[in-house]
């Protein structure tokens, strides 16, 4: 994400605070080997198994895994009539993916005759993340997408005074937040549970998963000023990059006022 999104060197708006220029098209492509074995499962069977994959970084998009075409069993694929054209990569052909009694339409694609600028895609295929029931990076299940080696998550203890209000109600106040700096995102303040009015929080049905921080649950906020849906989230079962913010609360909503004062 640091290469192709936000202010990364391959983004549409690269930084000007450098002493060099990168001569590249407005829409850049960059492929690098992915160093570990990746597997995808559907309907109880393995539909992709490769230790020879590549991550393709593309301006404005998350990195996409491509693997040698033979690492997706041909017996599970049926040609589709779907075809698309990318002005940067070429014409893509699609295949349906079958496992047991389940078939996922247009799950796999390949640039069989890629444009010269993407000639290295020849012989590789990609699969939509949602086409599989689960994905494994070595022996660990991953959600959302593979981890980008150029993406960082840093959590630091801070003495910044952070106050969160809903109307006239203070819902959180702390002088010991954790500041999380994550590639391509603004800093987020995570507040210790003892410094949050948890009596104002009601569990939401919303959940999300970050490949870096882990599984997040969301909370609605109820005060005298009304109720806000999904006003806060917390990582109760974090991954390694989220361990330092376990059970802390982060607030983000248009109707909340967050003020920050340096110590």
Mean pLDDT, contiguous 10-residue spans, the chain (263 residues): 69 75 74 96 96 93 95 97 96 96 97 96 98 96 91 95 96 98 92 98 96 96 95 95 96 97 85
Please check whether residue 11 lies inside any domain of the structure: no
* Domain encompassing residue 183: 153-261
Q: Are 136 and 173 contained in the same domain?
A: no
Residues 1 and 62 sit within 8 Å (Cβ to Cβ): yes
Final residue belonging to a domain, choices 117, 142, 167? 142
Pull the structure tokens for residue 203: 């569990």
93, 109, 142 — which closes off a domain? 142
This prediction's pTM:
0.84
Number of domains in the chain: 2
If we measure between CA atoms, which residue out of 227, 239, 232 comes closest to residue 217? 232
Query: What is residue 184's predicted lDDT score, i.e. its pLDDT?
Result: 81
pLDDT at 18: 73
The CATH number given to whatever domain includes residue 206 is 2.170.150.40
């Amino acid at each position: 994400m640091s290469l192709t999104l936000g202010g990364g060197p391959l983004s549409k708006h690269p930084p000007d605070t450098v002493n060099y220029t990168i001569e590249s098209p407005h829409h850049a492509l960059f492929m690098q080997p992915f160093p570990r074995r990746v597997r995808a499962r559907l309907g109880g069977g393995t539909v992709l198994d490769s230790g020879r994959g590549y991550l393709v970084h593309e301006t404005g998009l998350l990195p996409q895994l491509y693997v040698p075409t033979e690492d997706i069993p041909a017996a599970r694929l049926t040609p589709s009539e779907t075809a698309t054209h990318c002005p940067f990569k070429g014409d893509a052909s699609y295949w349906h993916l079958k496992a047991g009694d389940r078939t996922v339409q247009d799950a796999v694609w390949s640039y069989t005759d890629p444009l010269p600028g993407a000639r290295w895609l020849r012989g590789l295929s990609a699969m939509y993340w949602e086409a599989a029931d689960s994905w494994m990076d070595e022996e660990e299940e991953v959600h959302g997408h593979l981890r980008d080696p150029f993406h960082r998550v840093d959590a630091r203890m801070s003495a910044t005074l952070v106050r969160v209000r809903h109307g006239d109600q203070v819902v959180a106040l702390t002088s010991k937040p954790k500041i999380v700096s994550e590639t391509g995102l603004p800093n987020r303040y995570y507040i210790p549970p003892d410094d949050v009015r948890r009596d104002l929080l009601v569990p939401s049905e919303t959940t999300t998963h970050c490949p870096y921080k882990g599984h997040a649950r969301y909370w609605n906020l109820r005060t005298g000023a009304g109720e806000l849906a999904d006003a806060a989230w917390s990582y109760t079962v974090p991954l390694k990059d989220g361990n330092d913010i376990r059970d802390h609360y982060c607030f983000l909503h248009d109707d909340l006022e967050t003020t920050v004062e340096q110590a």
